[in-house]
Structure 1
């Protein structure tokens, strides 16, 4: 185009634009449409490119990164992942928001803490995949672990550490590899085993029905496993129901049917303290993982005991090693047990007709346990999770579950693992529950050990146990008594209502004789 033509065209364009701007909006739209229709295809293509870049602005690429991070923090994790699939620019910008993805991971239950850089977006994807596997049940893989020794009968307790699974039965301990689930070790102990606790790297504490407590060193090498007794503790006059070890402060605590919890020196084996404030069997004992759980000042150790009617917390002065600037470095010993409080905190469990539910756990300074009352078989459950704050001593929030809980297995930052009572074959009774909403996220069917001993009637239904049979069954199981089968009259724990039950048992100690008289449970 010649210079004169260019100047003439520019004058015409300016004059046309001045007149165009004076037109009302309706006439402006009509003029534009007419001009587009009259334009050549090549002109229309160039117009499309120019209009798209002018009118269709990507707001996510134009906003400051701080504002994008603020907006994305209000978007749920699944929608945020779908937004990364819109375009490469969106994927690049959203994937770079590490703080947003980290907060999403925490809401999903991922409490991983490390100073190293982490791809939090990838961890969110893994967390969502795990939640989906909870819903479908694919997160739970059933693996039969069978013993190759006939003497290893019904397993009454299990624990694990560093790739080994340990199970107790009678006076034997079986050791399996968690990689191949093959039996790698089997050893006998001097007394009948009632409970166990694996601690440290390769150490095991066993409680016995004779009142003894023993500790063992487990050595595994290339598929072989050997055990050697390290120490024996004597003092209980009843069956040891629970045992817990804290290697950090060198203490072992045991609870028994003699209504006492005893604290022992792990290395020396001596009895350091006997806690006599219990009026029922001590069913669970443990040391809180944080030494400052009860007292924020970090100068006291603590211990938790559980009976059918109370949860009790005991504390005592700790012994700490300090540096030249009087800063706390590490715990030097188990502290002064002479200063142990009679009971720092006592939480009642049996008020308002509550039913004791096994499983008390400590997480982030809160005791978590189940409270529920007895209901009929055809009624829905009323279990609720209770969070008791140990730092203040006050009960915290409660979470209604509406289930019939058999045991609280584990508690984490976001979820809890709960075992329900048996409902119907292959129905989900192992559930993962959200600790904030109480919603069941999924689960699987876990067969109960009592199912094998229950006999069906002629209609192929399980008989409903009467109260006497259920009470006697629970007592026999807790005392580890031996049942003698008679060929003509085999014993049944869950007989039909109104039907007499004859069971011959061998009592293991004098206390069992006092608890059972003439086939009746005196403590019921």
Structure 2
């Protein structure tokens, strides 16, 4: 048959073939195959594999491939990565998919990272860490031994833990090594806070003192309270120290001279917590950058302006029960935008701009959890038996860790959270170091640390 005649015949045959039903098409193919010789059958075999096993992910435009991949869950995507090198390359480069998966796990996302394969690696690390949390295997424990009497006061900052004890000493520990860096003789410590040069202590002897780490010398003494000083905070920029006491007052002091600037009254119970912090929101009463003082007792949180040493009046009093039947837990969280405290009714979060209750998180039945730390994604809580992590997006407890019989403290000074940046979202770097510390009946300090994420 001439080529021209063949082309006409093939065109007519094709047109007729298209009009057939599927069954008729199959019968036609069966008949043609039965008429074929070895050459035709070999040709058919070679082409069928290409037609039937077409790699759509390789053939599609990259943008369309990424769109399709968004519909798959991460575990399915990881399985798809095993299909071929090409599939692994395309799937690993789908940044948005892996970033979304990381966010779902509560991971912080730095969108400035340009490496397309970075986020799949982050997801794999995140998945391992979250699995450890769910299986209650994310932490490990350690102990610090060195005090000879009960440890009443703890304070943590930048990898260093300060402890104050009834043995009339305070010690500064490197948590990563367990080594004591400084040990100085003090009074009985009910509260401690520090920086690189100095230690500030509140005492059961009703005084506040400032000490030099390198020499152990007392550089300043603050006298005026008539009850034990349970909480202290200070700011070098303001040259200001604040203290809360069992005499139901808050005092502000000139840090450099020890002069009492003001005595803030209004509390009717022991003041167990004072926090000096910059405000980050705008309102009628304060602007971003203003320093604010918070003080808490058994039932109330009071908010005070800073910078008005004379006639300083309370801006607002916060509480969870009108009849004062519900006690607040001694821990208090304030990040400049929100105030968070726990009680038997649950976690209360106040908006600092309006002082209105923004959120109430009820605790699970038959639990009375106390607050240690509160972030954008997670909260750290504990009770007499366990340390807990709550996912604040679902308000569900996602992990727990057993605690020993630690020394109880109604003032909350004998237990504290360590690193808290991870509460705003893990990132694979901030899940290191100290999680929780508490003093033990044998005068040691029990540490809960992040386990290394391999």
Tell me: CA distance 1:299–1:262, structure 2 relative to 1, closer, same or farther (3 Å). Answer: same
Deviates more, 1:228-237 or 1:205-214: 228-237
| Residue 419 (structure 1) aligned to one of 365, 382, 385 | 382
The Cα of 1:407 is off from its aligned counterpart by 2.5
- Listed as ranges, the matches of 1:80-95 within 5 Å are 80-95=77-92
Partner of 1:325: none
1:349 paired to 2:324: no
Aligned partner of 2:405 in structure 1 is 448
Instruction: Give 1:405's aligned residue.
Output: 368
Aligned position for 2:436 = none
Moved more, 160-169 or 127-136: 160-169
Alpha-carbon distance change, 76 to 246 in structure 1, aligned in 2, over 3 angstroms: farther
For the aligned residue pairs, the C-alpha RMSD in angstroms reads: 3.3
1:135 touches 1:442 (CA, 8 Å); kept in 2? yes
Partner of 2:244: 255
Q: Structure 1: state its 5+ residue gaps.
A: 220-225, 317-334, 373-382, 423-428, 452-472, 479-524
- Alpha carbons of structure 1 residues 406 and 13: separation in structure 2 relative to 1, 3 Å: closer
Please say if residues 405 and 421 of structure 1, whose CA atoms lie closer than 8 Å, have aligned partners that are also in contact. no
Alpha carbons 1:414, 1:434 under 8 Å: kept: yes
Structure 2 unmatched ranges of 5 or more: 415-454
Partner residue in 2 for 1:137: 136
Relative to structure 1, is the Cα distance of residues 43 and 69 closer, same or farther in structure 2, using a 3 angstrom cutoff? closer
CA 1:93–1:281: 2 relative to 1, 3 Å = same
CA-CA distance at 1:82 after TM superposition: 4.5
The secondary structure found in structure 1 opposite 2:52 is helix
Corresponding residue number in structure 2 for 1:312:
302
Separation (CA, whole Å) in 2 of partners of 1:70 and 1:264: 61
Question: How far apart, CA to CA, are the structure 1 residues paired with 2:280 and 2:18?
Answer: 78
Aligned pair 1:393/2:355, yes or no? yes
2:60 match: 62
Q: Structure 1 CA distance, aligned partners of 2:34 and 2:243?
A: 92
Q: 2:51 corresponds to which residue?
A: 51
CA contact (8 A) 2:384 2:403 kept: no
Question: Partners in 2 of 1:23 and 1:109 — Cα distance?
Answer: 56
1:164-203 to 2 correspondences below 5 Å: 164-170=160-166, 171-189=168-186, 191-198=187-194, 200-203=195-198
Correspondences of 1:448-487 after superposition (within 5 Å) = 448-450=405-407
Q: Give the deviation of 1:307 after TM superposition.
A: 0.8
Structure number with greater CO (CA < 8 Å, separation at least 6) is: 2
Q: Contact 2:328–2:341 at 8 Å: present in 1 too?
A: no
Q: What's the CA shift string for 1:40-85, capped at 9, x where partnerless?
A: 44223222134236xx4626862562x6656656655555544544
Whole-Å Cα distance in 1 between the matches of residues 70 and 253 of structure 2? 51
TM-score w.r.t. the length of structure 2 is 0.78
Note the C-alpha offset of 1:18.
2.6
In structure 1, what is the equivalent of residue 26 of structure 2?
A: 29
What TM-score, normalized by structure 1, do the two folds share? 0.68
Query: Structure 1, residues 367-405: CA drift from partner, whole Å, max 9, x if none?
Result: 222231xxxxxxxxxx52222111222111222221523
Cα distance, 1:155–1:390 mapped onto 2, change above 3 Å: same
Deviation at 1:209, TM superposition (A): 0.9
Residue in 1 aligned with 2:444?
A: none
Shift of 1:144: 2.3
Distance 1:61 1:230 in 2: 75
CA contact (8 A) 2:281 2:352 kept: no
